[in-house]
Structures are given as structure tokens and as C-alpha cells.
Amino acid sequence: MAALMLQEQQLPLPVQLPDHAQFDNFILGDNAEAHAHLARLAIASWQPQAQFTLLFGANGRGKTHLLCALCEAFASAERSSIYLPLAELANPQAAAALADIERYDLIALDDIHEVVAIPEWAEALFALFNRVIDKREGYLVCTSMQSTARLSIALPDLRSRLQLAVTFHLKSLSDGDKVVALQQHAKARGLELAADVGDYMMQRLSRDMHQLMAVLDELDKASMARQRRLTLPFIKQILDF
């Protein structure tokens, strides 16, 4: 389990990576190329052409899952990593979190779209890219809701650095793949989610994976509290359908 405590920057932000975020339980869908690219980074010798990577796409497409899985893969290979959830650091003072982190084998920056319009963050990110380039080893992997071309960036030079990244546009899963993803996450919680129950959830709930996972969390708690299996009648009762 990889974890991060930003004590060196005096930022009280403990980050615990989720146990379920692994490469082997990521539902590929149309994102096999991005998955394979990241999996290689943890086990191959340093590849300068892959020094920077950007994953972009809408919510619920697995960006954070892949980023956390990459951190776990680096830990398994006994290589160092640091994960920063930038949505939780979107203020000018927090840009200090980037100081000296180029020493890690992997720098994982989640949701850079949350900070690149902030001048202090844009300057700090530009400086970090340059330090990583000068170091000539290690990887910097970022996620974003938008592509580099669509990001509102406070510093033009930072856009030029982001354009160096190997870029993958993550696609949404099919409904069938989303059911499989729900089943895998349920299994990780010690639950059994039958295919017909998953299909019913897809028909009656939002197809956004974040919202589906939130409902699964609710069902998990209700199942534990009432000692009930995830049957259709039980789900209808809990969700008031």
C-alpha cells in the first residue's frame, strides 16, 4: 500500500491510496493502450520518450484508478512514488508541495486542470517539468479533465511542456463493462453482485461511474448493517425504487 504524508511542505494532507486500484482489476474497455503504456513504466528501464504522460477524459473513466495503480506497481517494484490529489491543493500557497519532489521515481499528479490556471501553480509546475527533464530519469504522470489544447493555463511555457507528454484520451466504458466493474468492486468488499442486479442498477441509476460507486458504497453499508445479500428486492428497498 502506497501512501503520502506531505509533512515536508507543512501541509496536513494524509493520502491513502485505495486498495482496489490495481492494474489487474482495471476494466480496459477502449483504454487498453493507456493501460499497457502505464504498466510498462513500472517494470521497464527508463524510457526518455515516455518521461511525461497525460491521461485526460471526463469523470468516471478511470484516471485516478490508473494513477493509483501505477503508484502501487512502482511500490511493488521497490521504486519510489508520490501521489498528489491536486483538487485538494487548489490554492496558491499549496504549490509548495511540488518542491524537491523530482527525487521520486514517479510523480503522479491527479486533476491538474484544478490548478493550472493559478499563476503560482503554473510556475511551480513548469519548474518541476524542467527539473525532471534535467534529472534525466523518473516519470511525471498527470491526469486532467481536458486535453492540453483545451486547458486554461496561466503560463504559456507550461502548455509547451504538457505538449511533450504521451497523451491518452480515456474513453467511457460500455454499460456491460460498467456492470463488470461494479461486480469487481463489490467482490473486493466481500459482496456478490449478480449480473441481473448490475443490469438493473444500470437501468435505474446514473451511468456515471463515480455515482455508481457511491451507490455501491451505500449498498455495502446497508448490507453489513442488515446482514443481507445484494438481491433485487433488497436493492429496491434500500434505494426506494
CATH code of residue 150: 3.40.50.300
Domain boundary among 122, 143, 169: 169
Within 25-79, strands assigned E span: 52-56
Q: Write out pLDDT tens, residues 173-194.
A: 888 888 888 888 888 888 888 8
Residues 185 and 157 in one domain: no
Q: Quick check: 29 and 171 in contact, CB under 8 A? A: yes
Q: Write out pLDDT tens, residues 42-95.
A: 898 888 999 999 999 998 899 999 999 999 999 999 999 999 999 999 999 999
Domain boundary among 136, 169, 202: 169
Provide the CA 107 distance to its chain's centre, in angstroms: 13
Tell me how far CA of residue 3 lies from CA of 17, 80, 82, 194, in angstroms.
6, 11, 8, 33
Assign 3-class secondary structure to 137-192: CCEEEEEECCCHHHCCCCCHHHHHHHCCCEEEECCCCCHHHHHHHHHHHHHHCCCC
- Domain span holding position 209: 175-239
Cell of 185: 468492486
Report the distance separating Cα 233 and Cα 241, nearest Å: 9
Q: Is the pLDDT of residue 10 over 80?
A: no
Tell me how far CA of residue 221 lies from CA of 97, 186, 195, in angstroms.
35, 12, 20
Residues 148 and 218 in one domain: no
